[in-house]
Every structure is written in C-alpha cells, then in structure tokens.
Chains A and B, each alone.
Chain A
Amino acid sequence: MALLEVRDLHTSFFTDAGEVKAVNGVSFDLDRGKVLGIVGESGSGKSVTVYSIMQILAPAGKIVSGSIKFDGQELVGAGERVMRDIRGNKISIIFQDPMTSLNPTYTIGHQLMEAILLHTDRNKEQAWDRAVEMLKLVNVNEPEKRMKQYPHEFSGGMRQRVMIAMALACEPDILIADEPTTALDVTIQAQILELMQQLQRDLGMAIIMITHDLGVVAQMCDEIVVMYAGSYCERGTADEIFYDPRHEYTKGLLRSIPTTGTVGQKLQPITGTPIDLLNLPKGCPFAPRCDAAMKICIRQAAENMELSSTHKASCWINVERNARDLGASAMRKAQKVGMDLDDAADIAKALEVGGLGASVLSAEVHAARVEEELQDARQQAAMEVREAGADVLPDGDIVGDGALMQSREKGNRISGKRNSAMRNKKPRKGGKR
C-alpha cells in the first residue's frame, strides 16, 4: 500500500461568478522515500491539489468528492482534530514565497519551536535544542544566534532554509514543497534542492514537489504528474515523461522550453492561452490549444489510459497510436497471406480512420472485423496456394522489417493528412480472396 493515495480528487471554489473547478479528478500514489513532481502552468490546480491534501484551502474552497488516504487513513471528511495531528507532524509543507510565509513579529526560534511544542512532548528547553539542531541540519551558520533573530534579518535563501527546518522538525513522512525555489536565484536554488535531496535520502521521507520548472523536476523527481486545467494529463516516471511523453500537452511543454538544442531555432510554443476554469469544455480541456486535436477530443474527454504499469495518459492520441499499431500488425498479417500491399494499406487506413472517428470501442470492433477478414483471406490464400500445387505457407514471419517500416511510414503520413484522408476516403478494395 502506498503511503499516500489520492483517488479521483475534485476540489472546487464556490465564488460569486460560479463554481471554479480547480481540481478535476486527480489520482496518484506516493510511496515512502520517493519524490513526486507535480508540473503545470499557473492555474492548473497543482497547489490546490496539495492544499486539499493538507486541507488548508481558502474558505470558498471545498473538496467535492474523491478520497485521500494517508497510511490507510481516510483524510477527506476526517475532521479538524485529525488534520491538526497530521499537519506539520506527518505531512509538512514549504510554501513558495519565503518572504511572506514567516511571521515578521516573532523570532525564528519562536516559530521553529511552535511546531515542536505542539506535536511532541518535549519541554521548552528540549524544543530549543531540537530547533538549533534543525538549523544546523539545513546549514544555517551560528544557529544559536540566528534563533533570536527576526525574519527580516535573513536573506531569501536563508528564510527558505528556515522554512525547511520548520517543516522537518517533527520528522514528517511527507514533505510537500510548493514551488520552493521559484523566488530564489539559481545558485541558491541549487543549494536548496541539493539540501532537500540529501535530507530526503538521510531521513527517508517522501517529497511532493510542485513546480513549473521542468529543469527542477528532471533533477529531483522519480515520478511526475503533469496537470492542465485541474485535470491530470499524464503520469509516469521521469524518464517516461521526458523521453516518451504520451499527452499532447506534455509534448508541447517539452517542446516550448529553450534548451541548448534550440539555439538559433524558433521555439515551438503552445498556442493560445490557458483555459477559463469557470467554463470548462465538455471534451479534453487542452483541445482548444492542441495542434493534434481530433473531433473526438472536443466531444469527449479521454479517459485515463494505462500505457505501462507506471505510465498513464489521458489523450486520444494514444488510441490513434494504438490503431496505427493495430493497422501495422494487420498489414503484417495480410502480407503473410500474400495480400497485395496496397490493399493491406487500405485496410490499415480504414482501421485507423475508423478508430479515430469513433472511439476506442469501435476501433476494437473494427480491428476484430479486419482480423476476421484476414482469417478468411488467409484460408483463401492457403487454399489457392494448395490448389496451385505448392506446399502450405510456412508459418514463420516472412515479412521483414522493411514492410513494417513501410506500413508505419504510411500510417504516419495518413495521420498527418488525417482530415483530408477522412474526406477523400477511397472505397475500400477487397483483398485477394
């Protein structure tokens, strides 16, 4: 069982203008000792997701449905008493802005000791020692002297260290870091990230890292959740997300960031602007900005498709890819029974187009039908071959990679000219029967 299980979380803000669906069906698991990154633009609901976990939403915000299980214990509807025991003790949070998240009227020491006194049975003296120890842990020089100082006497990087010390004082199982380094310079950011990594290794806690900086995610995270307009697009290991993105939004994000490889070239931005959460569309929220949007994307939001045991994406493009794979395998089979390549390609095309126009189900039905046709064709061909007096076809794979490549290429071309293909769909020629 995972340490934290979030299932189909829906959080809304009830404003005068209407219900703002800030989080729309987010699910993820977090295991002990892992770093999970939540990535997305501003307004994508990443902060609201973790605020929902901590239940520190603004008064207008409410968890509408879903489940959040921490160590098997349900937190949704658990009540303030339970949450008070969890917050700062089992799950801690570091906020984005170190300048405003410390109280300017209390000393650093007072603020550090507060959490310790609240959650442990240490007395004041022991709490002081523990606080000093924590400051040492996060590399604050002269911790005893620093304890008596006020936040304004600290630089931004130092304040963020204090925030981390405060969050870690009770040895939480989960540390939530909400854009912990956005307000900091790169050199300080590197120090803080390294510190977090080291503490995570030493203390064995899990981290949820919220950020819009893909560089930070690449460096820190084992697993990544990509969010857009309150829904999650994709979830997978860092390598899966960066090297094999399966949602058009993730792909767009990765294309739009400058890297050393983009020098002298145009960046490929995602067109348009983020969507208005008050009027979410019926279909995929990203469809209005998506270059690869299909008819189905506007009609219906894609469900969560499992691509591997760790990789999930909600994007119809994967069905297309699926259909293309089916098409390719159909072609291979057709080749096996000696079907004319052009005819096979037509079947493959019809399969793809059919798959796209309708839904997954119809693609599968289609695939099955083609499979049947192919069976027939195979028997037919085998008969013909027998009649011609030759031996029965060898059962091995007689089609080389060349034909497969060709069919893939064809598939790609088709998907590029998808719309025109749909309009000018040729009547399908029958196979050699």
Chain B
Amino acid sequence: MAAQGNDAPLVEVRHLKEYFPINTGFFKTTPLKAVDDVSFAIRRGETLGLVGESGCGKTTVGRTILHLYEPTDGVVVYDGKAVVGPKEKVDIDKFATPADGGSLTGNTLSLNEYRTKTTMVFQDPYSSLNPRMTVSDIIAEPLDVHKLCASAKEREERVLELMNRVGLNSEHASRYAHEFSGGQRQRIGIARSLAVNPEFIVCDEPVSALDVSIQAQVINMFDELQEEMGLTYLFIAHDLLVVRHISDRIAVMYLGKMVELADAAEIYDRPLHPYSKSLLSAVPIPDPKIARANKRIPLQGDIPSPLNAPSGCPFRTRCQYATEACAATMPEFKEVEKGHFVACHRTAEVNS
C-alpha cells in the first residue's frame, strides 16, 4: 500500500541511543550498545519494516521508541512533540531542529498521553498474555489503565467491538489464553493493542511464531486494520519476504546501527550497502528454479558481540570491501539518492 497523507513524519527518532550496563567484573560495568545513534522518521499511514539479524538491536529500537526502555540519549518526536518520561534527564533541546523553532522544551508530550496513541504487538503470543486473566480482561486492561471507559457496560461493549474487529467470537470473552491457538492468541494481542485507539503500533515480530497458513491471515488483518483505521506501523521481523510484503519502506540494522533505509522495492531491487546485499541474497525464495539459479553473496563468520563491537563501521569485520578508512571512522548515515539512505564509506565502489 502506498503511504497516504502528507510527508510530515508522525514519529521521528533522533540520535537514539540505548546502552545497557553489563557487569563485566567486580564493580565494573561496560555499556552494551544495543542501539547506537539511530535516526529515522516514519510518515503517517505508512509501514516501516525493520530487519536485521538477531542481536542487531531491532527489538530494542521498537521498545525504546515506545519508552518501554528509557533512552540513554536521543529523543523521539511524536507528531511534532518531544516525548519525555517523568524521570528522564536527556537534554532534548540538543536534538531540536530549525523546524521545531530551535527548542523542544515546552513542546513535549507526557508519557501517559503518548501511550494512548502508541501501542505494541509482541512476538510471542504465548508469553505476552497473562494466563490468569480472561480474554476480556486482557483486552480491557489498557482501557482500565487509561480510564477510557466510564461504565462497565461501555467497557464490555468496547471489548466486544474489538474482538469482533480482529475476528474473535464474542463467546470467547470469558475464556483464558491457554484455550486458544497461536493465531487466535495473536489476535487477542492485537485487539489489546487496538483498545486505546492508537495511531502508531510497533509490531515486534508479530507473525514469527505462527504457522504459514495462519501467518497470512494475520498479515492480511494488519493490512485491513491499517486501511480502516489509518494506522502507522513499525514492523519488526526477520522474515524478509513478510517484511517486503507489508512495508512501504524498509530499514536494515546491523549491530545497533542503521545501515540502510529505502523504499521497499528499491532496497530489494538495488540494495547499496554490502550487508543488505548479502542479507537479501540469503533469503530462500520459494520457487525451485529461481532458488537454484540464485547466487548468494556469502558472509563469513558470525555477528560480533555488541559488547566488543569493532571500531569504525561495525560491519567491516565481515565485509569484503573493507579498507582502513572503515576501521577508523563510522560512516555517516546519509541520503545518497532521493529517499535512499546508506551508511557506507564505499557506496560508490561497492556498487560500481
């Protein structure tokens, strides 16, 4: 689906950093740079796909955007307003642009308000639902937390409406999560995330745990909900065919850094970063003739530990084009063509 509406971003992430302290010795902690200086914007009504290997920080990006983790540094600007948690100490003015009038202070959004506009769908439909709660209580929990329903009757009606919307039967309301299959559980999770009438949903691997036939049902439902409710998605997944299907634009992450961002078709047809090239060539295509002819660009070794990330470009240790410059400095994440961002010193040479 094409991005609708104007080009003004709904969610803007500026220089987001998320470091986790790891105990590496007696009284000694080392920061694990799960997300290291990531910036991007998501337009209203679009789906941004976020891909990368496990451990690259894609889930952390999703969670930090929603302030489920307090950002170490950087700011999330939602609909022109900086999101600030009650105890956060990040100097948000540092990230203000001329478009914000040079300052973000006084133009902020409280976390409570932010969370009535943004929600999350989790990966694992088995562990993300409380086994002691009935389906109706699970779905109504956001309504209770934000006090969005005046009466018990309104609450019940809302729950049934949500269940109906995601294709669950109303008689399921009083059952418990264990009585449902994976696909149905994921529907419950989606209903819960829709309860506050959000504008923006972070979908963290929402179909990875589902069977192929069920996966298609859930993907279609995401599509339909977006059309009906004008939702904006950040769609995190490692299945590149699924991401390609659902996304308008796709971002590729490697070891806490964003390495490429472009239109979905563009990044599939003409990836510019050597990592994206390799990643995309490794996707098994469900067509024997294409699969047999497919030339994979091999990638040696494993992803390095983020505790001990290489200097400069994080990908250089596995990159066949790496030079000394790559070890010295981290390449800038810049727009090389309209709408196509790449972080690579050697974009020109790699693609000549």
- Give A residues with C-beta under 8 Å from B: 41-42, 155, 157-158, 185-191, 193-194, 212-219, 238-239, 242-243, 252-254, 256-260, 262-264, 266-271, 273-274
CB distance from B39 to the nearest CB of A (A): 25
Does B291 contact A215, Cβ atoms closer than 8 Å? yes
Distance, CA A425 to CA B184, complexed state (A):
41
The interface residues of chain B lying within 8 Å CB-to-CB of A253 are 212-213
The interface residues of chain A lying within 8 Å CB-to-CB of B183 are: 273
Which 6 pairs of residues, A with B, have the shortest CB-CB distance? Answer: A215-B284, A269-B216, A258-B245, A256-B216, A270-B213, A190-B282
B219 to chain A minimum Cβ distance, whole angstroms, is 6
Stretch at the interface among B156-164, B192-200, B236-244: B236-244
> From residue 226 to 244 of chain B, which have CB atoms closer than 8 A to chain A?
238, 240-242, 244
**A274, B324: Cα distance in complex, Å:** 55
CB pair A41–B220 under 8 Å, yes or no, is no
Residue in A41, A189, A238, A267 whose CB lies within 8 Å of B284: A189
Chain B interface residues toward A at CB < 8 A: 1, 53-54, 181, 183-184, 211-217, 219-220, 223, 238, 240-242, 244-246, 264-265, 268, 278-279, 281-292, 294, 296, 298-299, 302-303
Besides A157-B302, A256-B215, 18 other A-B contacts (C-beta < 8 A): A41-B212, A41-B214, A185-B238, A186-B53, A189-B284, A194-B296, A194-B298, A215-B283, A217-B286, A242-B287, A257-B216, A257-B286, A258-B245, A259-B241, A259-B285, A264-B1, A266-B223, A269-B213
- What is the bound-complex CA distance between A238 and B285, given in angstroms? 13
B244–A219 contact, CB under 8 A?
no
Q: Do B287 and A263 have beta carbons less than 8 Å apart?
A: no
A155 neighbours in B (Cβ, 8 Å): 302
A258, B296: Cβ atoms closer than 8 Å: no
Chain B proximity of A430: nearest CB distance (Å): 47
A155 and B55 CA atoms in complex are apart in Å by: 12
Asked if A158 contacts B302 (CB within 8 A), the reply is: yes
Please tell me if the beta carbons of A186 and B240 are within 8 angstroms of each other in the complex: yes
Residue numbers in A under 8 Å from B238 (CB-CB): 185-186
Of B184, B240, B284, the most chain A CB neighbours within 10 A belong to B284
CA distance A268 to B223 in the complex (A): 13
Interface of A is mostly: helix
A218-B244 contact given A267-B220, A269-B217, A273-B184, CB 8 Å threshold: no
Show 24 A/B contacts (Cβ-Cβ < 8 Å), sorted by A: A157-B302, A158-B302, A186-B240, A186-B283, A186-B284, A187-B53, A190-B284, A191-B298, A194-B296, A212-B211, A212-B212, A213-B284, A215-B284, A215-B285, A215-B291, A239-B288, A252-B213, A257-B216, A258-B246, A259-B241, A259-B287, A267-B219, A269-B217, A274-B213
Residues of B within 8 A of A189 (CB): 282, 284
Question: Quick one: given A218-B285, A269-B213, are A258 and B242 in contact (CB under 8 Å)?
Answer: yes
Given known A-B contacts A187-B299, A257-B241, A269 and B286 have beta carbons under 8 A apart: no
**Chain B: which residue is nearest A186 at the CB level?**
B282
Q: Say which residue of B181, B245, B282 sits within 8 Å of A263 (CB atoms).
A: B245
Residues of B within 8 Å of A269, CB to CB, are 213-217, 220
List chain A residues, Cβ under 8 A from B289: 239
Q: Which residues of B contact A270 (CB under 8 A)?
A: 213, 216
| Contact status A259-B213, CB under 8 Å | no
The listed residue (B213, B279, B285, B302) touching A256 by CB distance below 8 A is: B213
| Cα-based distance from A63 to B26 in the complex (angstroms) | 56
Q: Is the interface of B mostly helix, strand, loop or mixed?
A: helix
Chain A min CB distance to B117 (Å): 27
> A258 to B241, Cβ gap below 8 A?
yes
Contacts of B284 in A (CB 8 A): 186, 189-190, 193, 213, 215-216, 218-219
Number of A-B contacts (CB under 8 A): 126
In the complex the two chains form, what is the Cα distance from A191 to B302 in whole Å? 10
Complex formed: what's the CA distance from A155 to B183 in Å? 30
Question: A189 vs B1: C-alpha distance in the bound complex, in angstroms?
Answer: 30
Query: Residue B211 contacts which of A41, A194, A239 (CB distance < 8 angstroms)?
Result: A41
Distance (Å) between the CB of B68 and the closest chain A CB? 24
The smallest beta-carbon distance between B248 and chain A, in angstroms, is 10
- In the complex, which residues of chain A have a beta carbon less than 8 angstroms from the beta carbon of B286? 214-215, 217-218, 242, 254, 257, 259
Distance, CA A264 to CA B283, complexed state (A)? 20
**Chain A residues, CB < 8 A from B219:** 258, 267
Partner of B278, one of A187, A264, A274: A187
Asked if A219 and B291 make an inter-chain contact with CB atoms under 8 angstroms apart, the answer reads: yes
A380 to B305, CA, bound (A): 86
CB of A186 within 8 A of CB of B217, answer: no
Contacts of B240 in A (CB 8 A): 186
Q: Which residue of B lies closest to A264 (CB)?
A: B1
Residues of chain B with a CB closer than 8 A to A191's CB = 298-299
Cα–Cα, bound, A155→B54 (Å): 11
Complex Cα distance A220/B289, Å?
Answer: 11
Min distance, Cβ B79 to any Cβ of chain A, angstroms: 27
Chain A residues lying within 8 Å of B215, measured Cβ to Cβ, are 256, 269
Contact partners of B282 in chain A: CB under 8 A: 186-187, 189-190
Q: B245 touching A262 by the CB < 8 A rule? A: yes
- Expressed in whole angstroms, the Cα–Cα distance for A213 and B284 within the complex equals 9
- B294 surroundings in chain A (CB, below 8 A): 219
Complex: A229 Cα to B14 Cα, angstroms: 50
What are the residues of chain A within 8 A of B299 when measuring CB–CB? 187, 190-191
The CB with the most chain B CB atoms within 10 A, among A158, A256, A264, is that of A256
How far apart sit A260 and B238, CA to CA, in the bound complex (Å)?
16
